Chains A and B, each alone.
Chain A
Amino acid sequence: MSVTVLRPGLASTFQDLGRHGHQHLGMPVGGAMDPRAHRLANLIAGNERDMATLEITLVGPVLRFDAPACIALSGADLSPMVNGAPIPMGRPIIMRAGDVLSFGARRTGVRCYIAWHGGIALPEVLGSQSTYLRGRLGGFQGRALQKDDVLPLNTPLRIDALDPLVGALQRLAIYLPSTLAYNPRARLRVMRGPHTGLFTDKALRTFFHDTYRIANESDRMGYRLLGPALTLRANRQLPSEGATFGSVQVPPDGLPIILMADRQSIGGYPKIGHVATVDLPQLAQSMPGESLCFEEITLAQAQQLDNLREQALEGLRSSLNELRERMACSIQKA
């Protein structure tokens, strides 16, 4: 009743929406780098509540299913295949015992999310199944997948339910509103923050008009940017304060770092601004070497866009009632 890892891929870790409520203890939130894709995969796999998905990066794993299961993929298109034949992104896929899921060339994006209906049996650590690599905790034994790992399925499917299920899923219509689709923008939207005024006018013009490139030293903790250095009006040290997903901090070398999912809970560098939550998935799907440009957005606009995306997710969730009912009567009873 499990999935066996034949090849682990480049950096495959289980992630959910993160470890909330423990940042005052110094615990990073972590969670999916692209929460939009993570949630879409979960919904399309017929999950009622948020479950850890496997976040795979650039080079996907090879997984052998030893029991039947329903999966869905969202995020980066890494040419997914079952037994060597291409399968679509964003559709529920029935895997039979013995089927092998693998990936090929990268077409778009960086991170793809694999959701299992019912999820993988992983212990919760501080209320989350997310892998926190630096702390070696959460997810599958606190680490990225390795060859021969065995991932236990919570709710494998009944063999006699598979044929009718495949037919029903083929007929299932999934309408993805445009707010949930991956539509890369030419410029990422950034809000001013309390430290924005500490930077020179020239630094602000530069940041909002010039082009930056994502450095190779970018990871789940932060994206380092290469480009013109940003200077402060006066050199000053700030006592550390809370940090957020999307904070654009500027260390003394003047090159911005955008804080990502595994950011520390606090940070001491001045922040020139904050990337709007709605644009973070695009950043998480951007590669080292790619270019980034920024433009200003107001807080009210950013919150409206964030709320619209939440409403669209809720709309999609309620439109998939039939899928969830169908799945619920197709699983093996414990």
Chain B
Amino acid sequence: MIEQSDSTQWDIVPHGDRCLVIRFGSGIDVAVGRRCGAAAAALRKAAIRGVSDIVPTFNTVAVHYLPGHFAANTSARNLEAEIENVLREADLQRGGAGGRLLELPVCYGGPFGPDLSDVAERVGLSEAEIIELHSGEPVYVFMLGFAPGAPFMGVHDERFALPRRTTPRTAVPAGSVGIANRQTFIYPNELPGGWNIIGRTPLPLFDPFGDPATLISPGDSVRFMPISEQAFKLWHKQ
């Protein structure tokens, strides 16, 4: 069982016959997210035979594996023991080992941030104050998902606790920066979605032929850097 007071605890549970999920907590909290990031980094470094994917999320790490690398019908138990060993050796308190601090240019408001004025009104701040609040402190990248290269980041000031739009848009342009539930999400390509769009980044988030394929990785921290519409166009051309 998870002891909330003891930050070194975790729980390993099978999700079907080819995945184990390590749970570090229940809510959405940067300290828990950093332990997930550190655990994912340690497991990646350990390169356990048979493991194909290591996927950190808000408070878990999913370890996907292929059968045939372990003795018959004991795969999950053997892998669980190996994971326990790696995690006990790892320094999970260091948090998000290998994570970088990235500066991401964002052009706020206007045509790129159609929900900025609405968000300002609902939160009770000016648009300038929203931008300042959003770009002030770096946020942690909990995970990538929903689409390749799409980061879920947080946790923002509680004034950004507003829910997603009641009616999702059918097409949100690539690079759109959305906020909801104290998180920021960026659309790597045109997709449907309900996040409150306050700006857009000119940088591509996903390139399948790039190395790495994504601009942002789980475990990174991101500081948003406000840029003008003119600067956006210059960045975009590069």
Contact = CB atoms under 8 A, between A and B. Distances in A.
Interface centre among B56, B67, B68, B145 (most CB of A within 10 A): B145
B60 A242 contact: yes
A191 interface: yes
A224 interface: no
Interface residues of B, number: 49
A275 B16 contact: yes
A282 to B, nearest CB: 15
B15 interface: yes
A301 B13 CA distance: 17
A125 B17 contact: no
A36 interface: no
B21 interface: yes
A264 B146 contact: yes
Interface string A222-266: 000000000000000001111111110000000000000000111
A268 to B, nearest CB: 9
Interface stretch (B94-102, B168-176, B208-216): B208-216
B197 interface: no
A191 B17 contact: yes
Nearest to B188: A26
Nearest to A265: B145
B19 interface: yes
Interface string A15-28: 00000111111111
A241 B60 contact: yes
Given A21-B52, A24-B56, A242-B64, A304 B15 contact: no
Query: A-side binding surface: helix, strand, loop or mixed?
Result: mixed
Interface in B120-155: 143-150, 152
Given A194-B13, A266-B146, A21 B208 contact: no
B73 interface: yes
B6 to A, nearest CB: 20
Interface in A292-334: 299-304, 306-308, 310-311, 314
Interface string B165-209: 000000000000000000000001000000000000000001011
B94 to A, nearest CB: 19
Given A26-B214, A303-B73, A310 B68 contact: yes
Contacts of B53: 20-24, 29, 265
Pick the 3 closest A-B CB pairs, nearest first: A242-B62, A274-B16, A304-B73
Given A23-B55, A26-B147, A274-B17, 14 more contacts: A22-B148, A26-B145, A26-B149, A126-B213, A135-B148, A193-B14, A239-B28, A240-B143, A242-B60, A244-B16, A264-B145, A266-B146, A274-B16, A307-B72
Interface of A: 20-29, 125-126, 134-135, 137, 191, 193-194, 239-247, 264-266, 271, 274-277, 299-304, 306-308, 310-311, 314
17 contacts: A22-B148, A24-B55, A25-B212, A135-B208, A193-B16, A240-B143, A241-B57, A242-B21, A244-B16, A264-B145, A264-B146, A265-B145, A274-B16, A277-B17, A308-B72, A310-B67, A311-B68
